[in-house]
Structure 1
Amino acid sequence: MSASVPHPLAPAVRLWPSLRAVYVAQLSRARVARIPLLFVATFQSIGIMILMRGVVDGGTGDEARAVVAGSSVLVVAFVALNLLAQHFGQLRASGGIDHYATLPVPAASVALGTAAAYASFTVPGVIVTAVSGSLLYQLPLGGLWVLLAVIPLAGAALAGLGAALGLLAPRPELATLCGQLGMSAALLLGVLPAGRMPEPVRWLRELLPSTYGVEALAEVLRPGPDWGSVVANLGVCAAVGALALTLATWAYRRAAISRVF
């Protein structure tokens, strides 16, 4: 009797194809389930700008630019940080992590693909908020193309942080609380100009991942923006985003292993 020949194992799934599959699946799910919340996030930010218009003059002053830039990035914080923290917190509590752990995809694909989908979902709301705010405060519209960089970079940083909070929180209630606190920090520290804040609060503002996206967007709302400052802030935002997504990937692996053992 001839010895049986073992069948070769299937090739390992590569990162990018699996990441794309997770991204498309999560984006389709978010499109159906999160559209009402995107409207809430957008209307919330526009409402803040209308409210602040009663105390902040129009024009290219620091206050007007901070309100518009901070309110625009707040849409990203609401969806990519707050909702993603809740999503992963509930996923971990319900055992959904077990399902993802059985899929033949790298851990990084699940964390990064989900974060990218939630960040992409914010694009319409951010654009509507930025354009509406610029018109409301009589700010130039020519530099808003920088949103093409601000949205993915700030989205990566905030989505990575939201995913990590949801995965590391021991209970879904704490994940929801952390997401809400993070969004509140983005609101309170992002909408007001740094020059009006006490020194300790400025330090907290520097630690917030969305700060550098807000600063880059606020700079291009000047008549003559300092492009060196814009590039520097976007570079810091990219570095913070890479660290946040790395943390999210580690948190996902940790959560998946803890569920197994």
Structure 2
Amino acid sequence: MTEPPGVSGPGARAATAPVTGATTAHAPATPAPLAPRARLWPALGAVYRAQLSRARVARIPLLFVATFQSLGIMVLMRGVVDGGAEARAVVAGSSVLVVAFVALNLLAQYFGQLRASGGLDHYATLPVPAAAVVLGAAGAYASFTVPGVVITAVAGSVLFSLPMGGLWVLVAVIPLAGAALAGLGAALGLLAPRAELATLCGQLGMSAALLLGVLPGGRLPEPVQWVRDLLPSTYGVEALARTFEHSPDWGHVLFDLGVCAAVGVVSLAAATWAYRRAAVR
């Protein structure tokens, strides 16, 4: 059998060989690799800035309410308290109450509404760690309390004639008490089955901080003292109250701040677990 004219040799056999590469056009395409998850600290900064910008307009009026509430409590208690441990407890408890109002009460309401409205689905689709979402929101809400706490502490010191040399400890009290209370507020909002229950839990928590924070622990019944010891804000109140003494025991102040920090870690870890639990439902 002769080959066609102009086509001869190995080239002819290669031209007539079956093309096997044509079938690869129908092979399934390899999916492109996903982008790596964001690291904790950059994601935390992004969530913090976003929450801070969102809540700036809506939360500032509530911050005024929290500050005026604490100032009113001190003015009211001035009529029945002259000085001593009671005055120190009133000023310290009223100052930390600003943190409880914003970081505990409002954050519980925020996460409760976010869960009820399906807003957690948005955060669940973002490639950010759950801890960054919780810590970013907690830090943003706690940041709003700084002016109110400082104003309340200074005004209370003047009202009750307390020394103000130790008010620099607010640099530690505000973030540590804010972390502890914000973690508790976030956990309550995420674990509550309905937004109304989250609001109720936040209000009850703030009321506990009010009733148990402005009275010296030694004057309370023993069962109530146990409840007071379980409240995250107690140790921030105790640390701040000790600084109003003429000769503060800084060892006890550091101990109270250490306990407050430990409680903050536990409460934020519980809030992170509650966020993961709520986001997958």
Determine if the TM-score, normalized by the shorter chain, exceeds 0.5.
yes
- 2:227 is the alignment partner of 1:204: yes
SS of 2:37 mapped into structure 1: coil
Show the 5 A alignment for 1:10-89: 10-58=35-83, 61-89=84-112
- 2:182 is the alignment partner of 1:159: yes
Contact 1:30 1:121 (8 Å CA) reproduced: no
Give a deviation string over 1:216-260, Cα, whole Å, max 9, x none. 0000011110000000000000000000000000000000011xx
Show the 5 A alignment for 1:1-261: 1=21, 7-58=32-83, 61-258=84-281
Do the aligned partners of residues 39 and 240 (structure 1) sit closer, same or farther apart at CA in structure 2, a change above 3 Å counting? same
The code of the aligned residue for 2:56 comes to R
The code of the aligned residue for 2:141 comes to Y
The code of the aligned residue for 1:221 comes to F
Gap regions ≥5 residues in structure 1: none
Give a deviation string over 1:86-122, Cα, whole Å, max 9, x none. 0000000000001111111111111111011111111
Distance 1:257 1:6 in 2: 25
How many residues are matched? 256
Give a deviation string over 1:161-187, Cα, whole Å, max 9, x none. 000000000001100000000000000
TM-score in terms of structure 2 length: 0.89
SS of 1:224 mapped into structure 2: coil
Do the aligned partners of residues 175 and 6 (structure 1) sit closer, same or farther apart at CA in structure 2, a change above 3 Å counting? closer
Superposed CA RMSD: 1.1
Shift of 1:10: 1.8
**4+ residue runs over 4 A deviation:** 1-6
Distance 1:49 1:8 in 2: 60
TM-score in terms of structure 1 length: 0.96
Distance 1:233 1:57 in 2: 26
Q: Identity percentage over the alignment? A: 80
Distance 1:12 1:248 in 2: 21
